[in-house]
Every structure is written in C-alpha cells, then in structure tokens.
C-alpha cells in the first residue's frame, strides 16, 4: 500500500509539474530540469533512464494530455536519455496502435518517434533500471506469453521488441487497408485491431469526429506512412541483424513474417490500395528477403578477414589444371579406396560418390560384385535422400501456403524448389556428360550382357514410341528384361529378358553408363526421358528392336506357380530377381515351404539376386538378415530350439553369403550389427547340440551340425577382430577401443540403438551363456597363459579325447600324414567317424587351447615332429572348422608373448622360403624406396630364415588349405589373421611368410609382395612418418627431377595413382597414398599419426605461404586472386590431412585431435628451423589448423544438427571441451606458446568456418563459453565475427548477440 501511495504521489507531482511548464510555455530543457527535481524528490534520480517517468508520461499522452508540447518534451527526454527509447516505444506501441483510428495525430507522432529512435539501443548501466525496463517491456508487449520464452536479458528484449513492432505495424496496416486476414499464428504481442466502431465519438466528446475531413485524410496517409517507416527501419543494417537473429533462433516466427509478405504479393494486383503502395511494398519485401541472404562484412583489410571472405566454394581463377580440379575430390577418392578394402567391414551403410571403377586391387579376389554394388546400388540410394528432402521441404511449404486463401508458394518454397531443380539438373547433366568418357565405360566381362540389355531396353522403348505405342502393354511387365537387375517401377517396361541374350548376339551397344542410368531410373531419380538423350543409343540399332524374338522368363514361370524343380532353380540362381514381389515369395517359401522348397529358395536368394539385383538389393539384404532369425512356427511344441527345423535353409543361407564379396556387400548396406545379432542365437543353439552321424535331409545332402555351427561362428567372428593382441583389445580411458577396432559388445550396442523405435527386443551377449563363456575364455587366452585347470577337469577330458583323435590319425597314416598337402578333405570314412569324439562344438572349442598347448609344447621339446604338428592341426580343422578361430587366437597371443623358440624354416623341419626369399625382400625394398621409405634390414643371404614356433605352425597350416571357393569362409578368417599375426613378429618374418605363399600360388606373387610391404608400418614409427610425408609431397608436387615420372605426378593421381595394383607391383612402385590406405589400420600407435599429420599440415601450409610472399615469385603477390590460389592449396593440404587422419583412426583420432593434439600444438613453442617464417606464414598456419579441425569433425559427425544417437553426445562433449580451452586462453587463464598471429588466425578462422560450414555445432558449446569467446573477438575488433558466433548459439546467447548490434557499422 505504501509503494502504491508513493507511486501515486510521484505521478501527481509529475503531472502538476508538466501542467505548470505547459502553462508557462517553457522550453523542453526546462521541462526536463523540473522533472528531474521530481525524480530526486521521489528518490529516483539515480536510476536513469527512469522507468517510472516513462510510464507517467505515456499514460498522460494517451490520451488525457495529448498535446504537441508533451510530444516535444518526450522527444527531448528520449534524446537526452532521461527515458529509455526501447521502453517508451514499447509503451506507446501498446497504447497508440490500438487507437490509431481515433487518435490519428498521436499515431502520426508515434511513427515519427519510431523512425527516429527504433535503433537507440544504448546499454543501460544500472542493473536495477535494466531489470525494471525488461519487466515493463515484457509485460507491456506480452513477449514471454507470445513467444513462449523467458525474457531476462535486455538484448533478448531488443530482438523481440523490434520483431513485434515490425509484425504489429504490418498487421495494423493490413487492417487499415481492408485486408484483415486472420493468421493462425500469433507473431506479435501488439494489439493491432483499430477502434473503428468508436470513430463516431472523439475522445473529448466531439460527435462530429467522422466528418472531419482533415482527420480522415490523416488516417489514410498514416497507413502509407507506417509502410514507409517499416521500409526505413528494416533497411537499416542493424535491423537485418535483429531479424536474422529471429530467423536463426525462432524460425517459425520468421516464417510467419514471410507468410505476410507473400500474402501482400498475392493480393497486390487485386487491391487498388496495394497498387498505390507498390513501391513501399517492394522496398519492405526486399528488405525482409534480404535478411535471408544477409552476410556479415568481415574485416577484409586484414589477412584473416580475406581468408574467411574467400571461402571454400569461391571459384579460383587460374586454377583450372587437371591436378588442381581433382584435388578438391581427394577426400572422396580416399574414402572410396578405403571403403573398398574388404579387410575392414564398415558397420554403417556406405554413403559414397560416383568414382571411376578400378581393376581389382586385392589380387586373388576380384571383388567386382561389391564394387558394382557401390556404383549401382549404394550411390543411387545415397542420392535419393538428397532429392527427397528437398521435395518434402517444398511440399510442406506449399501446404502451409494453402492455409491462407490461395496465397501460393512462398519465398522459401521458391528457393527450395529452385534448389531441388538445380540438384536434379546437376544429376542429369552429370549423367549426360558421363557419355563423353567412353574409355571409362567399358563394362567388365561379367556384366557385358547386362549392359547390352540395358541399352537394348532404351532401344525398345524408343522404337515403341516411334510406332505410336504408349510404352508397352501391361501384360509385358512380367517379361521385362530387367531380370538382369533392371526395373522401372511405374514406368512402361520393355519386354526384354535375359534369356533373350542369344537373340542379341550382334547387339554390342551397352556400357556402364546404361547400367548407371537404369539404376537412377529404378530409384526414381530421373525418368525414361533419358532414353532420348543425344547419343544415348545409336539410331542404327533402333530398328533392331523386335519383340517377337523374346523368350519366356524363369521368374515369370516361378511367379505363375511352377514348382521349384532342378532346372528352374538353376535358372533362378543365375538370373537376378527384378521385383520385390518375387523376393517376398521366395522369403515365404524359405520359411513355410516344404524342406526342398526351403532349401531351394535359400539358394536362389543367395545367388545372382543378392549379388547383382542392384535395383532391389537393399530389400534382398533385408530379407536375408530376417531369414537368419526365422520366427517360431505357429504349431511348434517341444523343448528343443525351433531353429533346428530350419537347418537346411539356414545352412544354405550361411554358406551362400559366406564369400568375401557377399559379406562386403552386406557391410556396405550397413547391416553388420543386425547380422551379428542374428548369428548369435544360431551359434548358441547349434554349438550346444551333440552331432549325429546320420543327420540327413530328404534331399540327400548331408548336413553336419559342426559345419552349420562353424559357418555361423566363423561368419560372426569375421565381423570383429577376435585375433587382436591384448594391447589392442583394451579400452581407452574415454571409452573407445584403441585403433577403433570393433568388439562384439560394440556391434550389439549399434544393433540395439537401431531398434529403439521398434518392437524388437535388444540383444545382449548375456542371453547366450555358451557364447559368452567362450568369449570370456578367448579374451583370457589372449591376455594370459593357461592356468587353473587340473587333469580331472571335464575340459581336460575333452582335450584328451581330441588329442587321442589327432594321434590316432597320425599313427594310422604314418609318414604319409606328414605331407603338408595330404589332408585336404573334410570327408571321412565310417571308421574315422566312429573314432572321432561326438561332443557339442562349444565343448570342443573350450578344450582346444589345452590341445594346442600340449602339441606345441611337444613339438618344442622334439617329442612331436613339425609335420605331425601340421597334420594334427589340419585334422582338427577338418573335424571342426570353427576350431580355426581358437587356433588363430592362441597362436596370435603366443607370438605376441615371445616365449617360444624360433623354428628354422630349412625345408626339413618346416617349409623353406629360400627359393624366392631374397627376390621378395628385394622387391619389397624397391616398393618402399619408391614411396620414400627406408626399408628395414633384411636377413643375411646365407642364413636360415627363422620364425617363432607358433607362427611357423600357423603358416604351415594355412598352406595346406586348398584354394577352393567352397572354403572361402575359412580363407577369409585365416588370411587376415595370418597377416596380422605375422606383422607382430620381428622383421623379416613377413617376407618369409610371403615367400612361402608365393611358392604355393605363383600367380599371386606380385600381390603377395605388395601386401608384405605393408607390414613395415605396423610398429616402425619412422617408416610411418616417411610414408605420410611422401603422401603430402606427391599430392602437392615435387620439384625433384631425379624422381621417375610416376613419382612426379601431383594431385589425386600422384597420391593414389592412376594405374591398377598389379601394374604398380610389376613396376616395383606404388602410389604412396594407396600404400598408406592399405597399411593404416595395422599401425600400432595411431596416436602418433595425429602428431605427424598436424606437423605436416603446418609445414606444407607455411611453405605455401612463404612461396606467396617470396620475392622470387612476384606474380603470386598480385592481389586477392593469388591469395585465393594459396588458400585453395592450404585447404587441399588440410583436407588431405583430415582424410588420412579419419581413415587411420576414425572417431578416436578426431577426439584426440580436438582434446590433446591441437591444444598441445597451440601451447607448444616452435622455433623457425629455416629462419624464413613470416607473419603471413603464421596466419596461414592457423588457418590450416582450423580447417583441419572442422573438416576432421565433419567426416565423423557430419555437419547437420541431428547426428546419430551415439555421435551427438560425443560431438557435444568434444567440441565443448575444445572451445572451453579456447575461452580459457582468451581470458588469460592459459598462455599459448605458438606465435600470436597463429593463435589469432586459428581462433578467428575456426569461428568463421564453424558459423559458415557447421553452424549447428555452435549450439554444442555452452552459452558462457560463447560469450567469453565473443568478448575476446571484440577485443581483436572482430565484432561481426563475434556476432556471427553468438547468433548461432541458440536462445541462450540471443541477448548477448543483440547487445552487439550497436558496435557494428
């Protein structure tokens, strides 16, 4: 009550003072002095600008004392900062606009004050006054209620105030012009409705108010004046900043403003008043749309500002050489080469770009199917979302426009539609230009027929069109030749079948472009108008289209209900399916058909449909994974697992997908976690069964429980690196596996994350006790030697049975069993079957480490010969193929321990590599020398090669395996693990092993030598550093004319080479980047790679800057164009570094880069070794580091706001920690050791790149940290850069960003 009485007393004193000054006709200055006395008397003199005074003045102006003297005094009080313009304008807005019709004079004066003081946002020094102003404005304009935010900062209030003014004035003007459209959103807290019904009564009682011609004219002109004021205040640069803050942080509110603009434009022609205000509307609309394209003007007078202004997308004149143009694609080329390495199975679906297909690089395995999968399935699937997102955006915008009486498409919709059109046009243009590169389009021999059929489809389509047919009849749909993997849903189909190939033996018009175009048509990326592109097909062959020669399709026969007989099954296996319906029918047959139908359907699905059904490949993969987890039949009863009833089907699936190429295809489609989860119950069930000797199917195909278990178990273990030594299996302090190797737990985490939104239940290893027990035992075996088991233990009893089996086989076969190539068949006689133990597979695997320890110890003490050891190991693998896993794990662990004696590879006890060892070593040395790496010391020529005993046993075992495609599921495990195990041995173990395998398979000699050269980099840090330096030098070019022409290539060609692996090996030289990509995942200390790459990026960036400023190159200093060339080169250097870093260690190394490597680099002092580093070099150094950091992060997290579930918290934590470090330095809490120019360039360029390339990352940083960084940037006079950072920080920094509006020009 006391406060209310004080306020009333103050208001009364002010009113009396104002009335007295008005009667005396005092000038405004005297008014101000008298009012200040009132403030002092009330104890409010120190709290200027005064909130209380503003409320009193506005309350009297509206409208009891509405006189010109009062308005003049109000103007003076605002200009002298006696009152807050922000506060007074908000009070006037809430009172004048609703009464603009009855008080046109007040409305006119209000508009003049608004145009004059709209941007008088001087900061209030008094915290008490600031708080009262914020609360008053919030309550007056209802900001918190309207925008659903908590307004606590003056800057935040400024943004919402200005936006409310703009929308409120616009809405009130629409009302005045007779366009009272009711929008569904409440974009402003301003009450816009005019007092039209009360215009017959003046506020002073004059009932002739409506007849006042003067006031009517004023009302009409006020609406135009309001529109003019809107154009004036929105044309201001500060206005664009404030509206941009709304657009970025409150996009739905800004969209409401855009909808009002589009409403005006839609009614402009129909409304006479809008026609007369056309120029005003055009100006205002242009100002609002200008906010969409508004960019801050960085300080271009400084080199840092020029670097940021140039940008990553600006064309660089004079940089049109082939090497320079290809350099920007280096990251994609590196990713393509990396994703095609079958030794690493990616757990995420491959998102790749179109790349030139190379000849097979892996030597013995072509991997053509997985390469075609990339080109014809993965790439179209990756392109489709890019186009669909734009279509969805356009549709949503269009639907939003329809709510407003046919407004039509809006500005944003127009931009989205143009963007979509440009993307699709770019795709079409690329496909058309692709036809100019005929030398690159020659199809591999295995898909020549498919390419010819794709071309002939276009021929038939054109021929039918010329004959007046609308495509083809509906009945011809099932006869489409797309059984080769080509189908167009919803488009007319050409009746051409794979069985019609003999009819087209003279047609040779198909190439890879036709297959690519068909893949794009099938995904609805383009339409069949592509058939009419110039030179797509030649006119001379169009007349060849004759559907009378078309024969029936086996798939149409199958869909018509024909039984799956032998000949039909063979045909369906050889010809890929073309439609989802065909795959679905096979899937249901595999689950619900007879035993014969289940087996046949599984074989068909694993045939050409899986490998070459590119247009529906993702669906085939999906059904394949589902078949690995068949459902429980409706009428199933009993205690045994229902999986046993599916044994024939599961066996066919497991062996059908076990090839290296097929597993790679599954990984490219990103189903590795799902496959792992599906294989675990199979391993648990079939590994727990006791096998029988007569378990046969009705199709007379013997199905061994051991074989089914082994195929599932080996398949599961191929998905993670079970053979890694303990150091590489340990978990780092941040929770990630060192070297980014997969673990079984990690695969299950990925699987469970994918099914969060589904009804599927999560999978954990604890659900499978047998598998979990072996998993724990395997890790214990790797980590330490065997201990704790007594002879009476059941495991020992099983081990004794296995040993008896092995020794019985040795005794029976005698000397013949010692032949390393004798035991090659898994088919055994009845006597052998009787003598072999009949125990579950899990019990066998549990006992194998004891068996291996026993026979290896016996061999080491001369009790067991080396040949008998090899024969025993091979017999063990024949008995249970899954035992290969235990053998590899045990031998790999024993090799890493280094406790076994060396075995002489002399040809007597063990195989001898002497025949070609020196040749292999010499060739390895040549390859390493070609990439600038010093080769390690080779073995003396007259000494016997030696290997650790476990290594000698393992390589001797692998040599006994036949090179049979049916054993590819064994080779896939043995080959990779053998190479890994050999790399752990001291040099020259790998050349010895390579020599032995080169003797076994002579046609693989070049490939084996090239593979052996990779082992050097596993533990030799010096070699790794030399190879990385060669990568940078070859990419940027070398001035050393003594090097061969191949080594003097630059760009992507110099880095990765332009010839295939075999030719590189034949010439005893290899592109350094290609060698690094095939070696990087075996590097032991990947953290070391981070430091090397950062050092090389810094070194080569400084060299480029030194060259730009060098007196020897005056042309390079000719302005921004030359700086653009230098900047582009620096970006290429950083891009190469980021690409190599990510393929080496992925997220682990990126995390290390953010949290340790770059902070350490910034904190460390570096001396100028050459004495030529200038300030420009330092600045370029900082720019390169910033670009390296942003690009590395974008590779692992992406640039969007919504990364994967696991990546989002990791990204926020890592980026937040790095920016906390930067803020600490900016505050002076930490001192950097690098050059000051480098530090400033790094921070400014990092902020600039982040807000322009990855703005969504900014919200991962706390608001407090962003304010600290912005304060430091302001200290460097980088005010607009600071503003661009704060505006991306979300609502938490919106106020701080708005408070910077007064410091920009």
Render 165-220 in DSSP notation, one character per residue: HHHHHHHHHHHHTT-----SS---SS-----GGGTTS-TTS-TTGGG-HHHHHHHH
Place of tokens 């409706």: 634
Tokens of 1054: 């110099």
- Please tell me whether residue 731 adopts helix, strand or coil conformation: strand
Task: Please check whether residue 1016 is in contact with residue 1075, taking contact to mean a CB–CB distance below 8 angstroms.
Answer: no
CA dist 561 → 564, 585, 589, 667, 847 (Å)? 9, 10, 12, 34, 51
What is the distance between the terminal CA atoms of the chain, rounded to a whole angstrom? Answer: 48
Give mean pLDDT, residues 529-554.
67
Backbone angles phi, psi at 780, to 5 degrees: -65, -40
Mean predicted confidence (pLDDT) in 278-305: 75
Segment 23-47, tens digit of pLDDT? 777 887 888 888 888 877 776 656 6
pLDDT above 50 (res 1117):
no
Alpha-carbon gap, residue 558 to 585, rounded angstroms: 9
Whether residue 208 is predicted with pLDDT greater than 90 in this model: the reply is no
More confident site: 246 or 17: 246
Read off the pLDDT of residues 992-1045 as tens digits, 9 standing for 90 and up: 999 998 898 888 888 888 888 888 888 789 999 999 999 999 988 764 545 544
The answer for residues whose C-beta is within 8 angstroms of residue 218's C-beta and 6 or more apart is: 104, 105, 108
Cα separation, 1297 vs 1274, whole angstroms: 12
Report the alpha-carbon distance of residue 585 to residue 604 in Å, rounded: 12
Q: Do 771 and 376 contact (CB within 8 A), yes or no? A: no
What distance in Å separates the CA atoms of residue 798 and residue 716, rounded to the nearest whole number?
Answer: 25
Q: Which residue has the higher pLDDT, 817 or 84?
A: 84
Categorize the per-residue pLDDT at 881 as very low, low, confident or very high, splitting at 50, 70 and 90.
very high
User: Exposure pattern of 1244-1256 as b/e (b: 16+ CB <10 Å)?
Assistant: bbbbbbbbbbbbb
Which residues is 902 bridged to in the sheet?
A: 948
Is the peptide bond between 63 and the residue preceding it cis, with omega within 30 degrees of 0? yes
Per DSSP, helices labelled H in 97-153 are 104-117, 127-141, 143-147
Encode burial over 67-76: b for 16+ CB neighbours within 10 A, e otherwise.
eebbbebbbb
pLDDT of residue 1290: 86
Q: In the 8-state DSSP scheme, what is residue 1255?
A: G
Query: Taking the CB of residue 504, how many other CB atoms lie within 10 A of it?
Result: 21
Residue 474 is predicted with a pLDDT of: 34
Q: Nearest 10 degrees: CA dihedral of 297, 302, 307, 313?
A: 30
Instruction: State yes or no: pLDDT of 834 exceeds 50.
Output: no
Residue 1088 dihedral angles phi and psi, to the nearest 5°: -65, -35
Asked if 223 contacts 101 with a C-beta cutoff of 8 angstroms, the reply is no
Instruction: Report CA dihedral (586, 589, 591, 593) to the nearest 10 degrees.
Output: -160
**Whether the Cβ atoms of residue 130 and residue 93 lie closer than 8 Å to each other:** no
Q: Is the pLDDT of residue 300 over 70?
A: no
Is it the case that residue 978 has pLDDT exceeding 90? no
Dihedral sign, CA of 788, 789, 792, 793?
positive
Query: Is 229 in a helix, a strand, or coil?
Result: helix
Q: Write down the residue that tokens 């780092």 correspond to.
A: 732
Write out pLDDT tens, residues 141-152: 888 888 888 888
What is d(CA 486, CA 499) in angstroms, rounded to the nearest whole number?
14
Q: Is-contact 686 880, C-beta < 8 A? A: no
The enclosing H or E element of 853 equals helix 841-860
Q: What is the pLDDT of residue 770?
A: 94
Residues 6+ apart with CB under 8 A from 104: 215, 218, 219, 222
How many residues are there in the chain? 1305
Output the pTM of the full model. 0.80
Cα 1103 to Cα 502: distance, rounded to the nearest angstrom: 62
Q: Can you give the pLDDT at residue 608?
A: 92
Q: In angstroms, rounded to a whole number, what is the distance separating the alpha carbons of residues 1109 and 1093?
A: 24
Nearest alpha-carbon partner for 725 in 940, 555, 509, 891: 891
């Amino acid at each position: 009550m006391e406060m209310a009485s004080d306020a009333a007393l103050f208001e009364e004193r002010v009113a009396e003072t104002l009335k007295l000054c008005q009667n005396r006709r005092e000038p405004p200055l005297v008014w101000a002095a008298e009012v200040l006395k009132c403030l002092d008397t009330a104890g409010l003199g120190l709290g200027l600008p005064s909130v209380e005074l503003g409320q009193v003045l506005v309350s009297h102006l509206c409208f009891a004392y509405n006189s010109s003297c009062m308005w003049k005094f109000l103007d003076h009080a605002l200009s002298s900062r006696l009152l807050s313009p922000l506060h007074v304008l908000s009070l006037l807005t809430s009172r004048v606009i609703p009464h603009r019709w009855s008080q046109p004079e007040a409305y006119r004066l209000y508009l003049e004050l608004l145009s004059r003081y709209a941007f008088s946002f001087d900061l209030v020094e008094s915290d008490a006054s600031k708080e009262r102003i914020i609360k008053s404005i919030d309550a007056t304009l209802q900001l918190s209620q309207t925008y659903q935010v908590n307004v606590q900062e003056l800057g935040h209030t400024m943004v919402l105030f200005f936006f409310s003014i703009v929308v409120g004035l616009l809405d009130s003007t629409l009302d005045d012009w007779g366009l009272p459209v009711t929008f569904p959103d409440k974009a402003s807290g301003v009450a816009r409705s005019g007092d039209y019904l009360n215009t017959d009564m003046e506020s002073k009682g004059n009932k002739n108010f409506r007849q006042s011609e003067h006031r009517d004219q004023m009302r009409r002109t006020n609406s135009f004046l309001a529109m003019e004021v809107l154009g004036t205040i929105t044309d201001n640069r500060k206005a664009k900043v404030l509206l941009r803050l709304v657009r970025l942080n409150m996009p739905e509110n800004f969209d409401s403003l855009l909808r009002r603009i589009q409403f005006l434009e839609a009614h402009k022609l129909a409304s006479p008043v809008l026609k007369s205000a056309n120029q005003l509307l055009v100006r205002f609309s242009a100002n609002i749309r200008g906010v969409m394209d508004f960019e801050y003007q960085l300080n271009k007078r400084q080199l840092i500002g020029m670097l940021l202004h140039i940008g990553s997308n600006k064309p660089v004149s004079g940089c049109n050489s082939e090497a320079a143009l290809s350099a920007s694609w280096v990251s994609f080329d590196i990713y393509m080469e990396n994703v095609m390495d079958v030794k690493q199975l990616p757990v995420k679906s491959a998102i790749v770009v179109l790349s030139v297909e190379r000849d097979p690089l892996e030597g013995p395995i072509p991997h053509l199917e997985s390469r075609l999968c990339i080109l014809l399935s993965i790439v179209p699937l990756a392109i489709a979302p890019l186009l669909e997102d734009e279509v969805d955006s356009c549709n949503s915008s269009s639907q939003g426009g329809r709510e407003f009486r046919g407004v039509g498409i809006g500005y944003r919709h127009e931009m989205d539609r143009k963007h979509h059109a440009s993307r699709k046009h770019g795709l079409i243009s690329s496909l058309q230009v692709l036809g100019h590169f005929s030398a690159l389009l020659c199809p591999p021999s295995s898909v020549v027929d498919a390419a010819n059929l794709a071309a002939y489809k276009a021929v038939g389509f054109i021929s039918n069109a010329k004959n007046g047919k609308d495509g083809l009849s509906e009945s011809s749909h099932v006869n489409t030749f797309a059984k080769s993997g080509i189908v167009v849903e919803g488009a007319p189909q050409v009746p051409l079948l794979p069985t019609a190939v003999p009819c087209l033996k003279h047609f040779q018009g198909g190439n890879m472009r036709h297959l690519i175009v068909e893949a794009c048509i099938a995904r609805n990326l383009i339409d069949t108008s592509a058939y009419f592109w110039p030179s797509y097909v030649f006119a001379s062959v169009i007349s060849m289209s004759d559907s009378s020669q078309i024969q029936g399709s086996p798939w149409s026969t199958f869909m018509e209900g024909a039984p799956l007989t032998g000949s039909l099954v063979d045909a369906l296996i050889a010809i890929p399916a073309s439609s989802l319906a065909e795959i679905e029918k096979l899937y249901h047959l595999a689950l619900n058909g007879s035993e014969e139908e289940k087996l046949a359907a599984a074989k068909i699905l694993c045939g050409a449909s899986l490998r070459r059904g590119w247009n529906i490949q993702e669906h085939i993969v999906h059904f394949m994974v589902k078949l690995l987890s068949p459902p429980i039949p409706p009428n199933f009863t009993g205690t045994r697992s229902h999986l046993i009833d599916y044994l024939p089907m599961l066996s066919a699936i497991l062996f059908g997908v076990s090839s290296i190429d097929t597993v790679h295809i599954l990984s490219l489609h990103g189903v590795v976690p799902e496959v792992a989860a599906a294989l675990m119950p199979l391993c648990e069930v079939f590994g727990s069964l006791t096998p029988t000797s007569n378990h046969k199917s009705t199709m007379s195909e013997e199905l061994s429980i051991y074989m089914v278990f082994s195929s599932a178990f080996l398949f599961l273990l191929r998905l993670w690196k079970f053979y890694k030594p303990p150091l590489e299996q340990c978990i780092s302090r941040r929770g990630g596996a060192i070297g980014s190797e997969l673990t079984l737990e990690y695969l299950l985490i990925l699987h469970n994350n994918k099914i969060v939104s589904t009804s599927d239940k999560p999978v954990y290893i604890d659900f499978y006790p047998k598998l979990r027990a072996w998993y724990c035992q395997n890790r214990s075996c790797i980590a330490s030697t065997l201990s704790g088991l007594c002879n009476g233990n059941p495991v020992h009893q099983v081990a004794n049975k296995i040993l008896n089996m092995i020794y019985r086989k040795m005794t029976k076969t005698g000397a013949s069993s010692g032949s390393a190539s004798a035991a090659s068949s898994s088919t055994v006689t009845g006597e052998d079957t009787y003598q072999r133990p009949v125990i579950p597979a899990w019990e066998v695997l549990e006992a194998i480490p004891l068996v291996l320890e026993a026979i290896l110890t016996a061999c080491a003490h001369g009790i067991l010969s080396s040949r008998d050891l090899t024969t025993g190991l091979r017999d063990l693998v024949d008995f249970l193929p899954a035992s290969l896993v235990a053998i590899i794990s045990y031998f790999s662990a024993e090799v890493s321990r280094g406790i076994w004696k060396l075995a002489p590879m002399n040809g007597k006890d063990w195989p001898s590599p002497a025949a070609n060892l020196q040749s292999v070593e010499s060739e390895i040395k040549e390859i390493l020398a070609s990439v600038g790496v010093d080769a390690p010391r080779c073995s003396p020529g007259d000494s016997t090669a030696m290997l650790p005993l476990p290594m000698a046993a393992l390589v001797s075992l692998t040599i006994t395996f036949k090179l049979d495609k049916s054993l590819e599921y064994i080779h896939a495990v043995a080959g990779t693990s053998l190479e890994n195990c050999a790399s752990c041995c001291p040099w020259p173990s790998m050349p010895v092993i390579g020599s032995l395998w080169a003797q076994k398979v002579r046609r693989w000699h070049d490939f084996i030598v090239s593979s052996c050269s990779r082992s050097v980099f596993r533990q030799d840090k010096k070699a790794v550093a030399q190879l990385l330096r060669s990568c940078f030098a070859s990419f940027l070019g070398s001035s050393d004319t003594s090097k061969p022409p191949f080594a003097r290539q630059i760009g992507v060609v110099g880095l990765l080479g332009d010839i295939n692996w075999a030719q590189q090996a034949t010439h005893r030289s290899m592109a350094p980047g290609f060698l690094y990509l095939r070696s990087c995942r075996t590097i032991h200390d990947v953290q070391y790679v981070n430091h090397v790459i950062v050092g090389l990026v810094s070194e080569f960036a400084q060299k480029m800057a030194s060259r730009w400023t060098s007196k020897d190159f005056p042309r390079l200093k000719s302005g921004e164009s030359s700086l653009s060339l230098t900047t582009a080169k620096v970006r290429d250097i950083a891009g190469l570094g980021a690409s190599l870093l990510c393929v080496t260690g992925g997220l682990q190394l990126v995390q290390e880069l953010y949290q340790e490597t770059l902070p350490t680099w910034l904190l460390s002092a570096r001396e100028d070794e050459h004495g030529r580093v200038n300030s420009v070099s330092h600045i370029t150094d900082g720019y390169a580091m910033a670009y390296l950091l942003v690009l590395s992060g974008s590779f692992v997290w992406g640039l969007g706001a919504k990364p994967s579930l696991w990546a989002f918290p990791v990204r926020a934590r890592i980026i937040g920690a790095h920016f906390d470090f930067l803020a600490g330095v900016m505050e002076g809490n930490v001192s950097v050791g690098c050059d000051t120019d480098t530090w400033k360039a790094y921070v400014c360029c990092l902020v600039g790149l982040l807000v322009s390339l990855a703005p969504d990352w900014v919200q991962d940083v706390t608001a407090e940290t962003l304010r600290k960084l912005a304060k430091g940037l302001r200290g460097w006079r980088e005010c607009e850069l600071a503003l661009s950072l704060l505006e991306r920080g979300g609502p938490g920094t919106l106020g701080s960003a708005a408070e910077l509006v007064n410091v920009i020009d």
